[in-house]
Amino acid sequence: MLIDMKDTVMLCFRDLITAPGDSIAQHKRLIDDYGYCWWGWWMKPIEDVPNELLLKIVRTNSNHGSDIFLYDCGQYGLYRATLTDVAISPTNVGMSSPGIEQTPEYYVHVKCRAWFKLEGIDLVPESDAKLHLIKYVDFPSWRLEETHDHFKGKNISNFQELDQMAVTLWHIELPENL
């Protein structure tokens, strides 16, 4: 059986400054209040922003938003989020959130290299089982991309595999029905 696939990204996050589950809760509150929130990407110094890929994902479904995924590496959870825009810093220094009121207070003064405008965040039911349906396309933010070459085109095995990569953004391919 042929399965229609689509490309998107998955971002890694962890509640280091907030209580477990509070990062998602705070972003969802802002979505309830304003219709959207800004999610800052706390990338690692060894990573670069994949500008073209992010802009392509935003443009692909500009009328209704594009699905991206958020991976909670602290609680091993997977969330689907609706991406409607991305703001990319023109410099390596990063930039403040494009919407301070729509950004959780705990990182309103943090400068990030990319900010994602999200209009919805929902837990993916049975995240463990559904994770296996997702394939790695590549690792566009990782400067040492060849270290992960053997994963390209393979399905994600489990959350622990993601942790071992030390990557915070994955270019992934998923079935339409996920």
Q: Give the pLDDT confidence score for residue 4 in this predicted structure.
A: 40
- 62 vs 108, more confident: 108
Tokens describing residue 108: 């309103």
Please give the tally of structural domains in the chain. Answer: 1
For the sheet with 37-40, list strands across it.
37-40, 114-123, 77-88, 66-72, 5-13, 169-175, 135-138
Q: Tell me the residue range of the domain where 88 lies.
A: 5-175
What is the length of the chain?
178
Compute the mean pLDDT over every residue in the chain, rounded to the nearest whole number: 88
The token pair at 148 is 């992960």
pTM, full prediction? 0.91
